[in-house]
Structure 1
Amino acid sequence: MNDVAGGEGRYRILGGPGSPYSLKLRAALRYRRIPHNWIVPQGYLGDGGELKAADKGMIPVMQLPDGRYWCDSTPMILALEQRHPGVRSLLPDNPSDRFLALLIEDFADEWLVLPLFDYRWDAEADQAFCARRQMAGWLGAMPGPEFDAIVARFRERQTGVLSRMGEREVNRPLLRSTYPEVLAAIEAQLGVSRFLFGGRPSIGDIGLFGQLSQLAIDPTASAIMRRDAIRTFQWVQDMYDASGIEGAWREPSQALGPGVENLLALIGQVFLPYMTANAAAVRADRPTVEITLRGLPLIARANSYRELCLGWLKVALARALAEGAADLEPLLRRHGCWDHLQLAPGEAESLPELSPESTGRRSAFH
């Protein structure tokens, strides 16, 4: 057994240097000032050691002070809210904002990751840089020829995984059209508030940061951000460690910022229609999702985890409405989100619990 968490009461995050979800989780613990150690296990996934012993099949993995292992960034962050209540929470007090933060976080996790990985493993310069950077982080010091051979295998693996996820050439125009919109939304929001829901980060901010932390590094995507969204670039740097940020949630009487409105428009036009089509494909046992969004095609492998994500969002909306979030319906209807988020009879009861105790399901992108 390892020296649990490096000391009594500390968590141990086992993460990867190029993993948006690993940096998302670390940012959450840093902001909340929850004692933890950041560990990049040597040898990468599947090569034995602690990650293999944890038996999650994905990163990040987090070891609790009692020795148990958790996985999957969203349920880990939510479970930490239960274990450490009231300590610089990432969940807004207002039930409407709380739901919107969860929705934006899911958009980042399940959609923004798609253009990230398309950029990362497309152009020669991106493939070469990203493969070497990540393997350097995983492997540490190593003779050049051995390192080069491992980099080549990793690069081949990653491009192969993406080729099996969907029609990359077909999907690229749609995926890449949404990245600049996210940047523009954050730029607009920074004109009125430091974060989406006031002066402190929410789980939605943390989710966006996870993906943007990598988009700010990878050559092609970073060049776009540095050219078009300099304030967003610096916001990403600030979010690496927000432990010193003090702030308050916005007042319910205040209007939502333009960045939140713009993100909701994008979510209603692209993300939720895709998630609904994906869920229908999974339920019908169809292997592929084919949909046209804003006049652009998307052909992707049906994803059972994303079907669950949509179901959990529906449950979260129902909970927010039960807590008095009456303003959500007109807002979500205005942006085309409402109908996609309605529970079917018996749907809530059929959903598994959103739990960090489960075995990992998304290793390709984590």
Structure 2
Amino acid sequence: MYTLYGSEVSLYTGKLRAYLRYKKLPFTEVLSTIGVYKNVIRPNTGVTFIPVVKTPDGQFLQDTARIIDHIEAEHSQRCVVPSRPTQRLVSELFALWGDEWLVIPAMHYRWNKDNFPFIYQEFGRVVTPNSPAFIRAFFGKKLAKKFSGFVPILGITQHSIASIEDWYENTVLHHLNCHFAQHDYLLGGRPSLGDFGLMGPLYAHLYRDPAPGNLMKRIAPNVAAWVERMNQVNVTEGEYLADDTIPDTLLPLLTDMFAQLWPVLQSTTEALSQWRQKHPQEHFIPRTVGEHSFSVGGISEKRAISSFHQYKLQRVLDTYQQNDVQAKAQLDPFLQGVGGLAYMQMTLENRVAIESNKLVFA
């Protein structure tokens, strides 16, 4: 039996809960209260991030990508990693995009829209789960203030908000809504890693929070239906599209992610190399290493440089670069068409790895 430590309000818990359900693995979910953080999560992982999974043999795993890798290696049934090269790469691209880029609209629509007092109650459950509503609201408001402080760090400012909303509503939701009108999942009749990457931001923040949830159901009902489908138990195992096909409905989103996210990823690798030169004695890499520019919908703003972005970038580059010549001959014209071929040739002089659930240089 697996144990999932997390919460409904947590972005990445929503991703992992859906995955465990799809895999049909027995698990119990434990709310990550202050006491659970103090007595379970911190002592067993060394960090204070959720979700955390305790495996049947007593291991404590942190970081959803590594958790899924571990479970996929243990349980090959209902595999979520496509076997064909183009679908496998597209799955990883959407997993990266969901985990690291859709956090921007997720955080904006949670903290800058009318989601209160719902959010205060939700965060209050983490502090005092068995208390009356007015006490939960009091403590929830204090905890929520801490999390809302991350909003400007992500580059969500009065200068960028209008562009973020236009991009999310008229690009992200629009194209996903068109896609899910034709397909149950990103790549056909079964979910992939990419679906679970999207599930994090699109469920906990953008579907479940009142204001963005109402927006999604109104302008992108097929996306809302996909979220609900991803949360179902005992889903029938379908098939990915034949012949390594990528639906045309995903091409605008792939083009968008290479245009907006990948310059940020490239800048991140350069910043990490510079940081290493300036801090040769440091073993662990901090979560942020300065600031850089990013652009959404043509509007530029500053944001913190997330060092973890490079770890996720490496997964995508490895997925592409480990292909043989024949597979690349198939992949390269596809990547050229969505603006990603040059980025896939990136070489990283300073690779990173995870040690004790913290980032280090490999």
TM-score by length of 1: 0.86
Matched residue, 2:278? none
Question: Taking structure 1 as reference, are residues 36 and 322 closer, same or farther at Cα in structure 2, changes over 3 Å only?
Answer: farther
Q: Which residue of the partner structure matches residue 230 of structure 1?
A: 221
Identity %: 24
Once the two structures are superposed, the pairs formed by residues 60-75 of structure 1 within 5 Å of their partners are 60-75=51-66
Contact 1:290 1:298 in 2 (8 A): yes
Which of 169, 183, 187 aligns to 2:173? It is: 183
Which amino acid is 2:65 matched to?
Answer: T
User: What does residue 5 of structure 1 align with?
Assistant: none
Q: Deviations over 1:147-206 (max 9, x none)?
A: 233122112211223334445223323432332222222222223321111111111111
Cα distance in 1 for partners of 2:226, 2:316 equals: 27
SS where residue 242 of structure 2 aligns?
coil
Q: Which runs of 5+ in 2 are unaligned?
A: 276-288
* Residue number in structure 2 paired with 1:364: none
What does residue 3 of structure 1 align with? none
Partner of 2:34: helix, strand, or coil? Answer: coil
The whole-number CA distance in structure 1 between the counterparts of 2:271 and 2:185 is 35
Of the three residues 290, 309, 312, the one matched with 1:309 is 312
* Bigger share in strand: 2
- In 2, the alpha carbon distance for the partners of 1:59 and 1:360 equals 14
**8 Å contact from structure 1 (residues 200, 246) kept in 2:** yes
Per the alignment, residue 27 of structure 1 pairs with: 18
Q: 1:244 to 1:148 in 2, by over 3 A?
A: closer
Displacement of 1:237 in angstroms is 0.9
Answer whether contact 1:42 1:140 (CA < 8 A) is retained: yes
Q: CA deviation at 1:323?
A: 7.3
Residue pair 1:127, 1:155 contacting (<8 A) in 2 also: no
The SS at the match of 1:70 is strand
String of CA shifts for 1:321-346, please: whole Å, max 9, x gaps: 567243221111211122222232x6
**Larger relative contact order (Cα-Cα within 8 Å, sequence gap ≥ 6):** 1
Q: Tell me what 2:346 maps to.
A: 343
Is contact 1:45-1:58 (8 Å) kept? no
The corresponding residue for 2:159 is 170
1:11 matches 2:9: no
Deviates more, 1:133-142 or 1:230-239: 133-142
In structure 2, what residue type is equivalent to 1:148? Answer: A
TM-score, normalised with respect to structure 2: 0.87
Choose 101-110 or 264-273, whichever is displaced more. Answer: 264-273
| Aligned with residue 247 of structure 1, among 238, 251, 275 | 238
Letter in 2 for 1:316: T
Quote the Cα distance in structure 1 between the aligned partners of 2:117 and 2:14: 22
From 331, 334, 351, give the equivalent of 2:334: 331
CA distance in 2, matches of 1:90, 1:309: 17
Classify the secondary structure of the residue corresponding to 2:151: helix
- For the residue of structure 1 that corresponds to 2:7, the secondary structure is coil
Residue 6 of structure 1 corresponds to which residue in structure 2? none
Alignment RMSD: 2.3
Residue in structure 2 matched with residue 300 of structure 1 by the alignment: 303
The amino acid of 2:48's aligned partner reads G
Match of 1:4 in 2: none
Is the CA contact (8 Å cut-off) linking 1:13 and 1:36 kept in structure 2? yes
Within 5 Å, give how 1:1-366 maps onto structure 2.
Answer: 10-43=1-34, 46=37, 48-54=38-44, 55-85=46-76, 87-123=77-113, 125-136=114-125, 139-166=128-155, 168-180=157-169, 181-214=171-204, 215-252=206-243, 254=245, 256-285=246-275, 287-321=290-324, 324-344=327-347, 347=349, 350-353=350-353, 358-359=356-357
Please say if residues 3 and 30 of structure 2, whose CA atoms lie closer than 8 Å, have aligned partners that are also in contact.
yes
User: SS at the partner of 1:326?
Assistant: helix
| Higher mean C-alpha deviation, range 151-160 or range 18-27 | 151-160
Letter in 2 for 1:115: P
